[in-house]
Amino acid sequence: MKKKLLVIIPCFNEEASIAQLLTELTHLQLPYEINIAVVNDCSTDNTISVARQFDVKILNLVVNLGIGGAVQTGYKYANRNGYELAVQMDGDGQHPAAELSKLLKHQEQTRANVVIGSRFLLKQGFQSSALRRRGIAYFYRLNQLLTGKRIVDITSGFRLFDKQAIAFAAENYPDEYPEPESLVMFAKAGLHIEEIPVVMKNRQGGQSSIRSLSSIYYMIKVTLAMFFAYIRK
């Protein structure tokens, strides 16, 4: 029997990009039983009207939870419905559907609990801004200090989880700016984490939640969150 794979797409005002991603996903030819869950984090545009044109499960949040809460909602759904694999992909189109096969192949070969798609291992495709790359490099060094793990693209939201990681994330997942903090939690839980090169694109629409002065809050908040995740029992 084919393994069940859930594609989790957290969305907040992604009407400009979600249709292209869903079209690409529905045309994928992979040896898995693929289902798609669009997690609507209280969008105020036509994101859900666009998503309803496709054969997808729509999970509507009654309050805005942010990226962490939206992603965890997807993992809770995957855990409750017996999915063996789940992948999170940004609704802004940065993660091309064609790159998903790389994560799946690597997981099959290594049996890793978590496989992360990295922009920076081969330095191909969209590389983000210079300012953001410096911030990512800082979190890379902090994560290495806390966990001993070398995860270069530590803020990547293109991640594949196996059944064990799905169960862990369903119960334990950071709420705001979750990617770096969650890797500290995964390492402490003994999950096997792998990173592989993928080619990403610039966002195809919408706006990032990390802009101007909010980037200062982001750096401070995530630094503290990683530290407390490290010392927490």
Residue 205 — pLDDT band, cuts 50, 70, 90? low
Confidence at 199, pLDDT banded by 50, 70, 90: very high
Q: What mean pLDDT is predicted for residues 125-141?
A: 82
Percentage of the chain beyond pLDDT 70 is 94
Which residues lie across from 60 on neighbouring strands?
A: 40
> For all residues of the chain together, what is the average pLDDT?
92
Is residue 214 over pLDDT 80?
no
pLDDT, tens only, 107-130: 999 999 999 999 998 877 676 767
pLDDT at 14: 94
pTM for the structure as a whole: 0.91
Q: The tokens of 3 are what?
A: 């393994």
Question: Distance (Å, rounded) from C-alpha 2 to C-alpha 223?
Answer: 40
pLDDT category at 204 given cuts 50, 70, 90 is low
Residue with tokens 């401070």: 220
Q: What is the arithmetic mean of pLDDT over 14-38?
A: 95
Q: Taking 70 as the threshold, does the pLDDT of residue 207 lie above it?
A: no
Task: Identify the residue whose tokens are 């010392």.
Answer: 231
For each of the domains in the chain, give its residue range(s) and CATH number, in order of start.
3-231 (3.90.550.10)
Span 94-113, average pLDDT: 96
